[in-house]
Chain A
Amino acid sequence: SQTIHQWPATLVQPVGSPLSLECTVEGTSNPNLYWYRQAAGRGLQLLFYSVGIGQISSEVPQNLSASRPQDRQFILSSKKLLLSDSGFYLCASDSGGNQETQYFGPGTRLLVL
């Protein structure tokens, strides 16, 4: 099975500061990678997904961007954080097939003040 690492685990940032969250994957190659945001311990909002290096699809317009510089590395960034960017960010991975289970990282809790 796949193992997803995320860091940092918790982050407190001022409004207007930059952001970089990192996700790395072990146990697979050429995975599909995803960034989700979860607000208030409820539903998941898909932010970005990637089917390969340098290939990023955005699901919703927003203040964030994503990059995939290596096969098993996925980065979520912002140039200037907003209060509304606060939330729990989850990175996930799967192997791309129709029956595939998604594997999730432990998450990063971001608080923008």
Chain B
Amino acid sequence: DIQMTQSPSSLSASVGDRVTITCRASQSISSYLNWYQQKPGKAPKLLIYAASSLQSGVPSRFSGSGSGTDFTLTISSLQPEDFATYYCQQSYSTPPHFGPGTKVDIK
């Protein structure tokens, strides 16, 4: 199985901050890396697929980069509605494991 790790596990930030979350795979997954946002009591929402492709309807302040084993999700200017937990997920092989999540809360 390919294991996924994320850092940090949580962070506190202010509105307008630039936020970067890192995801690492235990072996190369090419660009088969996806990012989701989940707010409390809600279903996850796809933000980024194939490492850097922005899902339709997702604000352009979200961006993804990386390939191989190291990936990042960047929020260029944090907005109040962005406070949530973010998960990466590899879709290179089965089982398509998720990372443990990064909780972004208000500073």
Are A and B co-members of a single complex? no
